Copies of this chain bind each other. A is one copy, B any other.
């Protein structure tokens, strides 16, 4: 029971180890105490705690003062706050994420998409449908639409791994700045259910996101379906003194 000796931050290696460790545990089960884990893994407690902090923030683990640390309900949590590092698609709950590209191609926008992207209806739009998979389990279907002029030369490989936003910035000079996102409840239709390996009419979240670059131009319009049993959105609200 030791850490991979691979590269990367020790704290990340600890976190990955814990993810593996937790993978085949039931929800709500206790993990070893922090002090035990330190000895076992040969790391200091601050390092271990930093790793656990990540997993608590992402909902994988739940701490209870004086009792122990437990596996969370089996859910992936997406923080709405823009993460300082990594793309904000990237759910903080780690595990091995990848994308299966189901569709990739350009076509005229048509009336609805044209309005969403603020383009002419005849303008070309790149449409990408991808299945997001964690540890071989389908989690979400994303349907992305981008003005084709912005991303001429983009290939499916660019979306398979890594941060799509970084590709946008480094290869296409598109600097994503802000997004407006709406979330609503829905249930899966037949094709969605099949792709996500759940029954039809299964609870799901539909997330629509419109993303803008630094100049306020629309970069993408995305409509996604997330499995309701595996996904959860967390946000932190702050009120100023005057708010009711």
Contacts and interface: CB of A to CB of B under 8 A. Distances in A.
Please give the count of copies of this chain that the complex contains. Answer: 2
Interface in A72-90: 75, 77-88, 90
B184 A237 contact: no
Contacts of A231: 184-185
Interface stretch (A3-11, A144-152, A174-182): A174-182
Contacts of A234: 180-183
A79 B240 CA distance: 12
B58 A238 contact: yes
Given A185-B185, A203-B187, A237-B181, A84 B57 contact: yes
Nearest to A176: B239
Contacts of A165: 239, 243-244
Contact of A238 (B75, B79, B86, B226): B79
Nearest to A86: B244
